[in-house]
Amino acid sequence: MSRGLALFLAGALLGGLAGGGVATVVGGPRDGLPAVGASAPPTIAPAPLPGVALSEDLVQVVEELSPSVVTVINRLPSGAEQSRGSGFVVDAERGYVITNSHVISNVTTNGVGASFDVIFEDGRKVAARLVGRDQETDVAVLEAGRQEVKPLVLGNSDEAPIGATVVAIGSALGEFRNSVTVGVLSGKGRRLPSQTTRDVFLEDLVQTDAAISPGNSGGPLIWAATRQVIGVNTLVIREEGSEGLGFAVSSNTVRQIADEIIQSGRVERGRIGIAYQPLTPRNAQALGLPASTSGALITDVVPGSAGAASGLRPGDVLVKVNEDPIDAEHPLATLMLRYRPGDRVSLTILRDGAEQRLELTLGRAT
């Protein structure tokens, strides 16, 4: 980042690989994961607010919800542990556990761990399988079988007020199971560059001053007044002079992504069907455009793609998707995270120095 902020994923590496340090794992998306069961499970809908007072006893909140928070163990093919993180049960009947994508990533490759265990608050260890993950939003879902715990509810993160009391539960340092920290909701709608996916920003993050430690990744950030999860803890900023800068993927983002993963094993995003590179000042001037022009320079168009059908050509400069401008802080890859195959979008391009708008229906990756 321009201010030199140090961002760290909150997963904990173990053993000879890292000696308990902060995880800075890198992984890649995995396609083709199997769906869960023959029929799609119901979506994870936000629950109505129960109207609990903001002065709710935090001890009762933790006693009620902590049994559904788990430690996630990520193993190598040899069976040795490579990392630990946190997660929480959202469907006890099917045993669905939400965590971070980077928690289940292989720390040395672009893939995922070979196998996973989850450890409950009472010490029970259960083998879990990966349902799917979405690296771009840092969300993953595991399945651990039917569990006798109360599933946590994904609330509406938009409704949580700034200053609300929040509780983070997770496996601090990967060892201190179900550790609890308390703070306030410090901000909403934050965006930070992804630490695992190039040219993508994590959007709609919620910020908290509740202490987030290595190993807390994937654990819930709970709005104490409603006993609902409003975020999945994912990273912290560590810079000299900074304090209390923890971030969580908003529950509204998690709900949408987890639903898609549970139903199909992955998140499929709409494709324009182009190859491109960020427009540089030199390229802009070579095209007769002001050096300050921002956008994506199209270098190739895939035959038969949505982009080809719309009339896009190499040399076109894509400057907007719908009304969202493309620039260094809003790269095309980030803007496209919200779109699915079949979505209709409007593209604004510059061709021969003139602005044009093209309409197209997004396709699928081939």
Q: What secondary structure does DSSP assign to 69-87, as a single string?
A: EEEEEEE-TTS-EEEEEEE
Amino acid at 33: L
Q: How many CA atoms lie within 13 A of 164 on its CB side?
A: 28
Tokens standing for residue 293: 């022009």
Q: What DSSP state is assigned to residue 334?
A: H
Catalytic status, residue 102 = yes
- Residue 340: which of 232, 289, 286, 264 has the closest Cα? 264
Length of the chain equals 366
Catalytic residue among 91, 134, 138, 259: 138
The one-letter amino acid code at 310 reads S
> DSSP string covering 122-185, please?
TS-EEEEEEEEEETTTTEEEEE----SSPPPPB--GGGSPTT-EEEEEEEETTTEEEEEEEEEE
- Where on the phi/psi map is residue 206: left (φ > 0), alpha (ψ -120 to 50), or beta? beta
State the greatest distance between any 2 C-alpha atoms of the chain, in Å, as a whole number: 67
Beta carbons of 27 and 136 less than 8 angstroms apart: no
> If we measure between CA atoms, which residue out of 354, 271, 336 comes closest to residue 309?
271
Candidates 217, 250, 251, 305; catalytic one:
217
Tokens describing residue 19: 């000696």
- Dihedrals phi, psi of 98, to nearest 5 degrees: -95, 140
Q: Do 170 and 62 contact (CB within 8 A), yes or no?
A: no
217 is catalytic: yes
Q: Which of 102, 250, 251, 316 is catalytic?
A: 102
CA distance 238 to 256: 29
* Catalytic annotation, residues: 102, 138, 217
